[in-house]
Amino acid sequence: MSHEVVVVGSVNADLVVGVDRWPGPGETVLGSDLATHPGGKGANQAVAAARLGGRVALLGRIGGDGHGDLLRGSLADAGVDLAHLLVTDAPTGVALITVGPDGDNTIIVSPGANAHLSEDDVAAARDLLAGATVVSFQLEVPRPTVLAAARTAAGGGARVVLNLSPAALVPDELLGLCDPLVVNEHEAAFLLPDHSAEDDPAALAAALRERGPRSVVITLGADGALVATGEETQVVPSPKVNPVDTTGAGDAFTAALCLRLARGDDLVTAARFAVRVGAAAVRKAGAQSSYPTGVDELPG
């Protein structure tokens, strides 16, 4: 059976501390007890899509350590195909996350095993990538690996979705394979030196499309998302919720978008579903632990 969504990306343990306020340079503040959650943009997207009922596989790397065991268990519990989750001689990736009182967060990632996902791994997973309906990428694994996998996926007829996070320069060839390119306003501005994150999102989307993507989605946080294709540009509003923790909400959005595209939705319709999934994910603490398991859990 082919997979609806294949995710190529990172697998991290999220080490989370809550704070009442952000420290200034050189300042120490006390935080909450440390909580450890399964995370990583790749694993988050795979779990989110699988929990929504998708047939999902993940191509990634973990270490042979306790964090790796935690992550493998979380992915397996969600029903993700782990035939291409590889173990390497490096520590599992870790994300150091600080959550503020309003639910916003700051994140520092130590890639660990994620940095060892290689073009050879892509070659070994050729049939998996080429046989998928949609293949989703982020940038917490090496960019040459992402490009090689995107080429393989597109060559097999899969739809390529790239979430440009964390923001980084990528080849025009990779941008040209994206349908869509998914960015927030800061990531959009990173690719556009003549623009800033405060610019009108529609203008950012138009400028991004000139870089080559077939379509663009700009996530707008609590305001939803802007979708730009060759035919239309439309804002898709998000349901209003009380945020607890925004960690992993963007991954939930992208996963839901990919799943609905794989099932035949047009981009605007898929985004309407995805903003509801993203809104659901901010109502609980953690990333994967906050993801809904069905439409009955979605706001709006």
What is the rounded CA–CA span in Å between residue 123 and residue 102? 44
Handedness of CA 235, 239, 243, 244 (dihedral sign): negative
Q: Is 251 annotated as a binding residue?
A: yes
The response to whether 240 counts as a known ligand-binding position is: no
247 marked as binding residue: yes
Catalytic residue among 81, 200, 251, 265: 251
Residue 229 known to bind ligand: no
Contact indicator for 194, 211 with CB cutoff of 8 Å: no
Between β-strands 12-18 and 35-39, what pairing exists: parallel, antiparallel or unpaired? Answer: antiparallel
Amino acid at 199: D
Decide if 172 is catalytic: no
Is 222 labeled as ligand-binding? Answer: yes
Cis geometry, peptide bond prior to residue 180 (ω within 30 degrees of 0): yes
69 annotated ligand-binding residue: no
Angle, CA 257 vertex, CA 254 and CA 262 arms, to 5°: 125
Q: Is there a binding annotation on residue 215?
A: no
Is 219 marked within a binding site?
yes
List Cβ neighbours of 75 (8 Å cut-off, separation of 6 or more).
11, 38, 43, 46, 47, 58, 82, 85
Q: Is 284 annotated as a binding residue?
A: yes
Q: Is 31 annotated as a binding residue?
A: no
Residue 26 annotated as binding? no
Q: What angle do CA 45, 50, 51 make, to 5 degrees?
A: 100
**In Å, how far are 101, 252, 253 from 265, measured between CA atoms?**
37, 17, 15
- Residue numbers belonging to the annotated binding site for ATP: 184, 219-224, 250-251
- Residue numbers belonging to the annotated binding site: 12-14, 40-44, 140, 184, 219-224, 245, 247, 250-251, 281, 284, 286, 290
Q: Hey, which residues are catalytic here?
A: 251
- Residue numbers belonging to the annotated binding site for K(+): 245, 247, 281, 284, 286, 290
- Residue numbers belonging to the annotated binding site for substrate: 12-14, 40-44, 140, 251
